[in-house]
Structures are given as structure tokens and as C-alpha cells.
Amino acid sequence: MKKLLCSLGAAVAILGPISASAAPSPSPALGSLLVAPPTGYKELTTGTFHGQFDATTYASQYQSKGLAAITLISDGFVDGYGMEWVQSSTHRVLIEFVIAFKGGKGAKTWLGFEESADKNDLGYKHADTVAGIDSYYGVHIALTSPTGVVDAFSFVKGNDMFGVGFVSAKDDVLKLATAQTTRQYAAAPDQTIQKANWPENAPSQRPQTNFLGAIIGAVLVLVIIAGVVRLIIVRRTG
């Protein structure tokens, strides 16, 4: 197996790169995209989200951390940014984050992965809905330790996935979550990586595939010619 991998590596080196270069940095920067919390909320510096994060950090919240990280990277994770705020009078917590992907396809694929994970959570009760957003899902989750309620939405706009959620000791945050999500969707840019640079919009690699096919065809021709020559030699010496 090791020899096979080495051989494949050598072949790839000869043929040259077959994938697109690394995705450009998101613009505008993700740290400028999250909408401000409602009045009375202050930054929670001890929260899970406190600025920029990478794929491994984000995936650590999942039970199958390794699978989540591999899936997230495979879907084209570029960068992430999140913040949390708390309202002292009610102890409600607001969580917001954004993840930039290399393209819109990867963002939607990850949205599906995350939706499946959330809806398989033991505390999942039902879906939440919001008007005016196409690619999204919402969840109502009951927490047991400590007891509480979560109403949260995740949506994709362009190549970015946004998450907005409220946590409360009471079942009283759905309207807040819906309103904040609507504000975030309206404020989000159409994309942070230009569509022309998305992997799904990259030029086809077919010419290189044809080049490889031509090489294989040439080798087969040489093998056939060698066989014919050998047959002639055998007949002449027979």
C-alpha cells in the first residue's frame, strides 16, 4: 500500500496540480458581519464563542468530533467567527456565529449535516420556522442540565453559514430568536468569496483528464506493438 501511494504521488507530481488553489480570505472580514445584540446584553467573555475559531474548535462540540471535523473541512471550511452575550436581568444568552466556506455548495452541505445532528439531539422537540429565508433550519431544544430552552436558527447566504440562538431558563425566546435571525439575514452580504472563485464554478479539469487518457492510450498502443513484434520474431525463429 505504501509503494502504491508513493507511485500515485509521483504520478500526480508529473501531471501537475489538479485542484484549485486555496480559497481567498473572506471579504468583508467575518468579525464585521454579526449584528449587534438587543439592548441590555453584554459580551460573555467566558462563552464557547469569543472571536475567531477554526474547524477543529467548532467540531469539538459534536459527539463524533473527528467525523464532524473531517466533514467540515471536506465541505470547504475557510474561517469562523462567533460571539456570545448575556442579559443580566433575565440570564438569557445570545449566541451568534458565521462560518465562511469556499463555495455555496459546501455551505449548504454542512447546513444539512448540522441540521441532522441537531434534530437527532435527545433534547430536540420540534422545528422552528422563520419567513423570508430559503436555506435554513430552526430547532427548539429542551436542556436538562442545567434546565433551559434553546431556540436557534442556522441559514446559508452565499458561501456563508450563520447561526443565531437564544438560551433561556424559560420557554420565552422564540420571538427573540426569530427577530434576531431576520436582522442577521438582512445584514449579511451576498457572499464573502466571489462566486467566480467557488469550487463549483471553477473551470473544468476535463482537458487534464483527457491528457491522462492519451497517456494511457499511448501505453496500450506500445504494448500492442511490442506484442506484434514479439509474435513476428517468434515465427521467424520457429
Q: What is the pLDDT of residues 16-41, one digit of tens each?
A: 333 345 668 999 999 999 999 999 99
Q: What is the pLDDT of residues 33-92, one digit of tens each?
A: 999 999 999 999 888 899 999 999 999 988 888 999 999 999 999 999 999 999 999 999
pTM: 0.77
φ, ψ (nearest 5 deg) of residue 119: -80, -10
- Tell me: domain 23-197, CATH 3.40.1000.70, correct? yes
Q: How far apart are CA 160 and CA 112, in angstroms?
A: 14
Q: How far apart are CA 122 and CA 144, in angstroms?
A: 10
Residue 110 DSSP symbol? H
